[in-house]
Amino acid sequence: MGQNQPIYLVAEAGVNHNWQIKPDLQLAKDLIKLAKDTGFDAVKFQTWITGLMCRPEAKKAEYQKTQVAGGAGQNQYAMIAELELPFWTFLELKTYADRVGITFISTADEPFSLQFLDQHIGVPFFKIGSGELDNPQMHDEVGRRDKPVMWSTGMGTMTEVMTAINDLLTAGCDRQIIYQCTSNYPADRKNVNVQAMLSIREKTGGLVGLSDHTADNLASEVAAALGAVAIERHITTDKNLPGPDHQASLNPEQCADFVNRVRHPRSIETLKKGFGSEVIEEILGTKEKKPVQEELEVMAVVRKSAASGAKGIPAGTKLTQETLPLWVYLMRPADGEIKASQYYELVGKTVVEDIPPFTTLTFAQLK
């Protein structure tokens, strides 16, 4: 992967396996086969333990209320608990991916799952999702494992992008591909801001790509024409299946079209002639790296804040570099006082009162 190499294409199977509806792996395997047959280089799922990444009262994002079987009456904790794949399934899916001949990876949404993917699945590189952009603990865990990383910047500012890069470099990771991303599903063309990808490249000197959540393949082709070294797209066997991401995913025909177009992109001028300058300029958008309005509600749901885990935290607990991850978890949503970006500020603090399980922390509880 890199400059002067063929563009690297990642098929995001994600949570489109529909394990929550029918707990077998046939649909997940169908997605792996679809990715291979249509010419992607890698297929990606998502790995987490619900109780380590989300507090029980967490609410859904608006788009999730209408696109998930549980509807508006189900909260985010219940939704992601249903979507969670058991660890053993990743062993089977990796074996199947190896058999059909496509690289298997998965996004870890908390550190324990990252360790599992590294040590037991042996993923060749990591992917960090947009929800972890401001999470120095995840950057540290990824960076010290001596593997390349792709990471998304949805909902982020350029300041947050630079902080994440430096976190990863400090931890030991200098092989990074940074995705411009808009965390909305599906994302409107006017919010893609592909030019922000160029700003990230200019600011960092690094490799860049696009995690594309739009409904068609035009934004991806624009990104490829501008020099993206990698692009990620959600895929599905059927857009009408229930689940939070199917509607924003490419169906089999769109997958084949995507691969063909981004491997042989037309120039920006040719695209403007074919689709109209106004359409292409809308996709190019602004060079300023910042969240769009539609991402703000998603940000509140998928970013994290500091909380106790299932055991709570007893008064008198000293938080050292070693004990902090044993007692304090970064969990959705981001409504706690201590944000993910402040995680390591807790090192050296002592808990002054008993903190119940799954409770957000405040600085008043620490000294």
Residue 161 has pLDDT above 60, yes or no: yes
Strand-pairing partners, residue 330, are: 306
Write the burial class of residue 122 (CB in 10 Å: 0-12 exposed, 13-18 middle, 19+ buried): exposed
Residue 221 · residue 239 · CB < 8 Å: no
- 325 vs 4, higher pLDDT: 325
Distance CA 130, CA 299 (A): 9
| HSE, side-chain direction, 13 A CA sphere, residue 156 | 27
Residue-wise pLDDT for 164-176, tens only, equals 999 999 999 999 9
The CATH fold assigned to 304-365 is Type Iii Antifreeze Protein Isoform Hplc 12 (3.90.1210)
CA dihedral over 228, 63, 27, 138, signed as positive or negative: positive
304-365 matches 8-295 in CATH topology: no
Using one digit for the tens of pLDDT, what is the confidence trace for 281-304?
999 999 999 999 999 999 999 999
* 22 vs 162: which has the higher pLDDT: 162
- Amino acid identity of residue 219, one-letter, is A
Tell me which H or E stretch contains 225.
Answer: helix 218-225
Instruction: Please say whether the beta carbons of 177 and 230 come within 8 A.
Output: yes
Residue 35 CA to residue 14 CA, distance in Å, equals 12
Q: How do the domains of the chain map onto residue ranges?
A: 8-295, 304-365
Mean of the pLDDT values across residues 230-241?
96
Beta strands in 72-113 (DSSP E): 103-108
The third-level CATH classification (topology) of the domain covering 8-295 is TIM Barrel (3.20.20)
C-alpha distances (whole Å) from 280 to each of 54, 203, 218, 263 are: 38, 23, 8, 19
Instruction: Confirm if 67 and 244 have CB atoms less than 8 A apart.
Output: yes
| 3 has a pLDDT exceeding 60 | yes
List for the chain the helix, strand, coil content (%; round to 5).
45, 15, 40
**pLDDT at residue 231 is higher than 60:** yes
Reported confidence tier of residue 16, pLDDT bands at 50, 70, 90: very high
Token match 């950057």: residue?
A: 139
The 10s digit of each residue's pLDDT in 133-158 is 999 999 999 999 999 999 999 999 99
